[in-house]
Every structure is written in structure tokens, then in C-alpha cells.
Structure 1
Amino acid sequence: MKQSILTALLASTPLLAAAAVVAQPAAPALSVAAESTQMIWNAVAVDRGRIFVAGPRWTGSKGPALALLDAQGQPRPYPDASWNDWHPGADTASAFVNVNAIHLDGRGNLWVVDTGSPDFGGDPLPGGAKLVKIDLATDRTARIYPLGPEIAKPGSYVDDIRFKGETGYLTDAGQPGLIVFNAVTGEARRVLDGDPSTTAPADRPIVLDGTVLKGPDGSPLRVNSDPLELSPDGTWLHYGPLTGPWSRIETRWLDDPNLSPAELAKKVEPWADLPPVGGTALARNGDLYFTDLADDSLKRRAPDGTVTIIVTDPRLHWVDAPFIDEAGSMWLPVPQMDRVALFNAGTSKTRWPVQLFRIDLGLKP
């Protein structure tokens, strides 16, 4: 998320009709998997029973930027202390400046998205914006991929990543656009810059507890291209601003560097009129799980557009980046983003402890 988002262009992607919302008969139980009195985590990944959590620096989080929870549920710096020891003036190339997302690629690697900007609304520091690939078998950094100033531009906030083979797709929530990344060569391209599909509309505010969320300057906060998901077969990339609406585009068009910006923009299609979401996770059957910020709930959108309420609970206040593990359970980190000091005139309203929930949905891994 970025302060530059507040000056984004007005989006014009056509809205799709919102699907009917139904509640399932009995809400599955939430279990607390971990708690923290210092670290504010907005991301989680679980690999063979190991739980990784991460969170951005500007929330006021204390402790590691990326952590592995120990047997007592306490965060320990991962992959080591030096990667989590960045401070102003220190080298940005081999330490986490500001982690916004983590992602398992299904091939034994954990990817870390470092925005490179320690401050909300700040420009990425030279060398700070990067992708870090960690080999989970050795717990060592396998490769660092710098995102230069032509990719992570002034005002950028590189947000999240999904993979199709060696090709990665990322959103930029600050400077609206997508990034297409090659994990073999390390090359990256920006696409759909300033397109209506990647730009937060001015008429769709983020509302929590009945109040419009505002940025540090007092204007309604606008978050450009943020959530994204690949279809199970890798054919489609679905994405949108945090507040929606969502669009989709065939990945074959994103993968073609010879298409002009105008030609590529014509390939974008409206997809779903989702409300403001904290995060999403896509199951293998095509069901999209999303956290609805307005009513502290987890919902499921079926491929036919039907939306089902899975669970509503006041403890699920701004759940960010849900994660489906290999056993078919869902993990829900709750950073309470709107309650951090940045959005409350310098006074934190975070309700401690920050929690990580697990819910058994019986999903196919």
C-alpha cells in the first residue's frame, strides 16, 4: 500500500453484477495457531509443518521482518539474523528493508517480496526493492533478484507474486501496474501501467467498522493493483485494486513482450465485482477464498460466481493474505492494518496480541 495511491487515476473497468451471497449451515471453528505481542504479521506460509510469518516495517512491528515460528510459537529470524537486521543507512541488497509478501512456489522455495521502502508512501531505496528466493531444504538464500528503478519506480509498492513455471506475475499497489518476471534470467517487465484494471477507483472506499479508512494526509486511502491469483491451469491471471473490481487476462498475452501497451490493454476482461478484500487464496478447484474487510469475514466465490460466507468473527479484523496448506487447511493472519498508528494520527489502536488463525476446510491439497 502506498500514499501515492491517493492520487491514482480513476478506474473505468466495467463492473460485473455481484453474485448472491449465502451462508453455509455451520461455520467451521477457528483455532488460534500463534499469537504475538510485538510482531504484526500480514503474511503466512506453511511448509511441512513449519510456519513462516512476515510483515511490513511501517506497521510498527517489532522483531524479525521474516520469521519462522518455533515450537512455542515465537518468531525467530529467518533465514538468519543478518537478513532481518536492516536499519537506515545499512546495505539494502542483502537484508529485508520492508517485506510485504511471502510465497511458496511448490518447488521447495520460499519467495520474499521486499518493497525496498521502509516508510509507507516512500520511494524504494536504491537496491532495496527485490525478490529473494530461499531454498527451504537448506534454509539459505538461493538467489536475489533486484528490481531496478525501471521496475520498482518512485512511488511503487511491489505487492505480491504468483508463479506459472518460471514466470512470475506481481502487482504494484503504488504505481498501478503489473510486473512480469523471469526467474531464470532475472529479467522483468512492467505491463498495464496506469490501466483502469490496475488503478483504484475513487468511488470505492475502504470501509471498516462503518468508517472510511484514510491515509496519513486525511484523504480516503486508495490501493492500486494488490490481490492477484492464477487460475489452476495457469491460463488466466485474475487481479484488481484492493477495493475491486477484479479483471482477468490470459497469461499468454502477458508473456508476449511484442504486444504494444494498447494491444495488451485490449486483452483485459472484467471478471468479478468483489468488495474490498484483505487477501485471497485460490483452491485447486477454482474456488476463490477472500476476506471481506467490511464485515470481518472469510468468504468463498465459486467459479459460477456464487459467494458463500464461511465464517464471520470480530477477531478476523483485516485478515491479510490467507494461505491454504498441503493438508487443505486455511491459515489467516490478522495484522489489523487499519488500526496501526500510521492511519490513526500516530496512535496505534492495534489490539494485542496479534493472532494467526487456522481453519479446517477439508480442501484438496
Structure 2
Amino acid sequence: MKRILLILTITTLIGCKSVNSPTISDDKIEGVASFKGQQVTGLSISDQGRIFVNFPRWRKAVVNSVVEIDKNGISHAFPDKNWNSWEIGQAQKDLVFIAVQSVIASEDELYVLDTRNPLFKGVLDNPRVFVFDLETQILKRTYIFQEDSFHQDSYINDLRIDKKKGKAYFTDSGHAGLVVLDLVDGTTKRVLDNHYSTLAEKDYLIIKGNKWNNTVHSDGIALDLENDQLYYHSLTGYNLYAIPTDVLINGTQEDIQKEVKLIKKTPAPDGMLFDSKGNLYFADLENQKIMKLNISSGKMNTFAEGEKIKWADTFSIYKNALYYTNSRINEINGPITDMEFSINKIILN
């Protein structure tokens, strides 16, 4: 009897082991493009395979805020050089990028999130989203955040577009909270302001044995369109939260706070993204990994790890490949002139 149980146990363990795909290492990670002295954060790939990235205004000498990467890996200012011409010290203008943090391609449009907060010294004027027609590269609309939806120290960090509900959702990593934008009338609503679920849990991370001191509130955001749930996570924290989008849109502030759910303890991430199978991808910043969490089963495993993962910042999926940016935020303690920042991709199973 003991022998039979032992055989059954071994068989079960082998079966369980085969279910999980092996962790992907550096040799299976492909380079797509790299940028010397230009720190990339945001990334989005359109339905036609066009690659867009952005470079935040965290320092001087940012050549372009938004670029499109062609098939040869060459960068081209998007939509043109004039939009990317603003420099530190100039007066703020309406039709230029000042401090772009994220880009999102959705159907035939590109949404460009401008924090209007260069150098983290406070917003110069209202954060905004520029929407460009991808066919003509012409500006279609500008959404300007209302005064009561941001703070002077806000850094509106990332966004997700919900065409089904006619909304866009944002995280604020500078002053903890979320913002809901109505894509029809352009109004904005701030929710979960300084709520425990949007606040940072720590003021540092330990990366490769080194302490990275910083306090970063609600940052990563991911939209589950199948189940109408918005997921979000502080960067210096280990708790993943979610809330129904219907509540975010229609609920009172009290309703919204009551519906926040803790989903799981996770590693500290930056950006997050769902695939079509209900898997959530995000970085484990402290261990140079990319994690994969199946929301339905709750199973979480290491999807990829290695030296080609250096602060995986933002993700995009196109034709069964996961693309991500390496922003190397923890490595920077001076000029970045000689540093390389990259876009990599991994074929999904």
C-alpha cells in the first residue's frame, strides 16, 4: 500500500511539474531596439504592429518624448519634431510634449499621457492626454485633467483605455490615487485618494543586494476587459488590488472604497499587463524577473529571469510575443550618457 501511494505521489508531482512552463532565460530573450543615453519607460504596439515608446522628462537632454520604432530599430519623432521640441526651462505650451510618462495604442489611436511634471518638481499645469489618429498622425483630441482630480505633487503614471465603457483609468504615483476619465465628455474624477490600496507600503526596495530608496505610490495598472475589473499596485509595495469598473464609474467615494479587494501578495512591480487568457504579467523588480499570475487559479510563477531583465517597466503584447522596456531605474546615480536602455521581446507559450 505504501509503495502504491509513493508511486501515485511521484506521478502526481511529475504531472504537476509538467503543467508549468520552464522559466525563460536570457538566451530566449530577443533584443528589439536600444537607446543610448535616453531612458525609455512606456511602450505600446498597435494592432498593425507599429511600436511606440516614450522617454520621461526626468532630466535634461531628453531628445524626444515620443518616438515610433521602424522595422530596422530606428527611432522617429512622433508625430513630428515640433511636438518633441520642448526643453527644461521653457514656458509650458499647449501643443508640445512636456513630461510624457506613458503611451497606449488603442485601435486606430495613440494616447500620450503628459504628466506636466518635469524633474518631479511639481505640475506646471494640468496633466493631460493627447490623442493622435494613427493613420494621419494628426491630433484628434486633448483631455485636460480637472483641478480636483490631481495635486501639485501628482505624477500621473500609467493608463488603460476602456472603449467598452467609454473611460480611461490612471494611476498617480506621486500622490496616491486613481483617476477616471470620461472619453466622451472629457470630465475627470479622482478616487481612492490616499487610500491604503493606492499608498506605497515601503520607502525602499532591495535590488541585487542594494537599497533603492524611494516612495512610489499607485503605479502599475491593468484592465481585465473580460470581467470588467481594474487591477492596480503601488511600486514600493507587495499587494495587488482590484475593483469592478462599474463601481469606479458609477459608485460614490464610499462605494468605491468598500469594493476594493486584495487579490494577492506579489513581488514589487512596475507596469502590468493582461494577455487574452487571463494571465497578468508584471516585473519582480527586486529579482530581475518577469512574473506570470493566472487570476482565475491564483497560480503565480516566474515567467522569465536574467541579465536581460533590468527593471522591466512596461509591457505590450503583439502576435504571441511579450515586449517590455528595460528602464534600469535602480542603476542610475549620475549621468546616463553611456547607458543603454532597451526593448526586448519573449515568445509566449
If the TM-score is normalised by the length of the shorter chain, which range does it land in? 0.7 to 0.9
For 2:232, the equivalent position in structure 1 comes to 239
3-state DSSP of counterpart to 2:221: strand
What is the CA distance between 1:308 and its match in structure 2?
A: 1.7
Whether the aligned pair in 2 keeps the contact of 1:36 and 1:74 (CA below 8 Å) is no
Distance in 2 between the 1:26 and 1:275 partners?
16
Give 1:313's aligned amino acid: G
> Which amino acid in 2 is paired with 1:359?
I
The one-letter code of the counterpart of 1:332 is Y
In the alignment, the residues of structure 2 paired with residue 323 and residue 61 of structure 1 have an alpha-carbon distance, to the nearest angstrom, of: 27
Q: Secondary structure at the match of 1:206?
A: strand
- Contact kept? 1:227, 1:280, Cα under 8 Å: yes
| Contact map agreement 1:160 1:170 (CA 8 A) in 2 | yes
Give the percent of matched residue pairs that are identical in Structure 1 and Structure 2. 25
Q: Secondary structure at the match of 1:252?
A: helix
TM-score, normalised relative to structure 1? 0.83
CA distance in 2, matches of 1:234, 1:91: 40
Residues 26 and 210 of structure 1: CA distance in aligned 2, closer, same or farther (over 3 Å):
closer
Q: Please point out which of 315, 326, 331 is paired with 1:334.
A: 326
CA RMSD, Structure 1 to Structure 2 (Å): 1.9
Between the aligned partners of 1:208 and 1:307, the Cα distance in structure 2 is 20
Q: Which has the higher helix share?
A: 2
Give the distance between the partners of 1:148 and 1:83, measured in 2 at CA. 23
Q: What corresponds to 1:99 in structure 2? A: 100
Alpha-carbon distance in 1 for matches of 2:201, 2:210: 18
Matches within 5 A, 1:1-365: 24-25=21-22, 27=24, 29-47=28-46, 48-59=48-59, 62-87=62-87, 88-105=89-106, 107-120=107-120, 122-127=121-126, 129-165=127-163, 166-202=166-202, 205-214=204-213, 221-242=214-235, 243-256=237-250, 259=252, 261-303=253-295, 304-325=297-318, 327-340=319-332, 344=333, 347-348=334-335, 352-362=339-349
Letter in 2 for 1:277: P
Structure 1, residues 230-252: CA drift from partner, whole Å, max 9, x if none? 11325211112112311111111
* Cα distance change on mapping 1:68 and 1:178 into 2, 3 Å: same
- Post-superposition CA distance 1:211-258 (Å, at most 9, x none): 2212xxxxxx1111111111132521111211231111111111115x
Per-residue deviation, residues 290-343 of structure 1 (Å, max 9, x unmatched): 111111111101121211212211121101011112x12111111101223xxx
Question: For residues 59 and 325 of structure 2, what CA distance do their matches in structure 1 show?
Answer: 14
CA contact (8 A) 1:181 1:189 kept: yes
Which stretches in structure 2 are left out of the alignment for 5+ residues?
1-18
User: How many equivalent pairs are there?
Assistant: 323
Partner of 1:266: helix, strand, or coil? helix
Between the aligned partners of 1:101 and 1:317, the Cα distance in structure 2 is 18
Tell me the alpha carbon deviations over residues 25-67 of structure 1, each in whole angstroms, 9 at most, x when there is no partner.
3626111111111321111112223211112111556311000
Alpha-carbon distance change, 86 to 349 in structure 1, aligned in 2, over 3 angstroms: closer
SS state at 2:219 partner: strand
Distance across 2 between alignment mates of 1:213 and 1:226: 17
- Give the conservation status (yes or no) of the 8 Å contact 2:239–2:264: yes
Q: Gapped runs of 5+ residues in structure 1?
A: 1-21, 215-220
Question: Structure 1 residues 312, 35: closer, same or farther in 2, change over 3 A?
Answer: same
Note if contact 1:232-1:285 (Cα within 8 Å) is conserved in structure 2. Answer: no
Q: Secondary structure at the match of 2:143?
A: strand
Q: Secondary structure at the match of 1:41?
A: coil
Paired with 2:345 and 2:80, the residues of 1 have a C-alpha distance of 26
In structure 2, give the amino acid aligned to 1:96.
Answer: F
Superposition deviation, residue 118 in structure 1: 0.8
TM-score in terms of structure 2 length: 0.87
TM-superposed deviation, 1:187? 0.4
Cα pair distance change 1:152/1:93, threshold 3 Å: farther
1:150 to partner: Cα distance: 2.2
Deviates more, 1:239-248 or 1:54-63: 54-63
